Structure 1
Amino acid sequence: MTDSSPSRLDLLHFARRVVVQQATASLRQIDGWIAEEERREAERRRGAEARPAPPEWLVQYGLNRRTVDAVHCGDCWVAAKSGRCRPVTRAQALEALRQQVPACTHCRPDTALEFREEA
């Protein structure tokens, strides 16, 4: 009777092939994840580059959307939270301050605009 069971060496070669196959599949999966993340990062960069520059000045409208409540610098966190702001030019921001629209006490657009109230 012949011994038909695989030798220890055959089993080790088989185990090596299994490990290589699993490692190759795992590397393919990780490479796919890397490629997807690189694509997302490139897309984020393109989006950031295509985004228009934030406005320099904002006016905040009241709840009725007609009255102007405040003047803000374009990067003011208060203006970002209110959601009722619209971009304006430097001249429009100065005119609003001349019309007694209050300047935001957090970002101080009157100081940034070098606005001096006339007596």
Structure 2
Amino acid sequence: MQQATAALSQIDGWIAAEERREAERRTGEGRWPPPPAWLIHYGLNRANLDAMHTGEYWAAAKSGRCQPVSREQALDALRQNVAPRVHCRPDTELGLLD
């Protein structure tokens, strides 16, 4: 009987710890800043503009070579022939193409 009580107490502790972690995760999600609307992808030497992305394109943010830019900077980059990525189509989102 004591073993069963000890096992139940241990399980209750695990459940409480998981509930705490889940509450912390939900609180932390609310503190993340919103993603940028537009991203410029730089080349290896950071002088070359390689591509234009929407801020929602998950792979761009993970590359480590992207910087957030304003709508005007994104439009200027596309007008200067920085390639829009076909996966997220920032040119369409900005209204340059239909």
- Asked if residue 24 in structure 1 is aligned to residue 8 in structure 2, the reply is no
Instruction: Indicate the structure (1 or 2) with the bigger Cα radius of gyration.
Output: 1
Q: Distance in 2 between matches of 1:47 and 1:92?
A: 31
- Structure 2 residue aligned with 1:11: none
Looking at structure 1, the residues matched to 57 and 64 of structure 2 have their Cα atoms a distance apart, in angstroms, of 12
5+ long unaligned stretches in structure 1: 1-19
Percent of paired sites with the same residue: 65
Q: Is the 8 A contact 1:71 1:109 kept in 2?
A: yes
Query: Could you say which structure has the higher strand fraction?
Result: 2
Structure with more of its chain in helix, by fraction = 1
Structure 2 unaligned segments of length 5 or more: list them: none
The TM-score with structure 2 as length reference comes to 0.91
Contact 1:78 1:106 in 2 (8 A): no
Q: What stretches of structure 1 move > 3 A for 4+ residues in a row? A: none
Displacement after TM superposition at 1:43 (Å): 0.9
Select 1:48's aligned residue among 24, 29, 34: 29
Cα distance in 1 between the residues matched to 2:62 and 2:29: 21
Normalising by structure 1, we get a TM-score of 0.76
- One-letter amino acid of the structure 2 residue matched with residue 33 of structure 1: W
1:60 equivalenced with 2:33 (yes/no): no
2:54 equivalent to 1:73: yes
Q: Distance in 1 between matches of 2:4 and 2:60?
A: 53
CA displacement, residues 58-105 of structure 1 (integer Å, 9 cap, x when unaligned): 000000012111110112144134221011111111111111111111
Q: Aligned equivalents of 1:61 and 1:88: distance in 2? A: 12
- Give yes or no for contact 1:57–1:93 (8 Å, CA) kept in 2: yes
Q: State the number of aligned residues.
A: 97
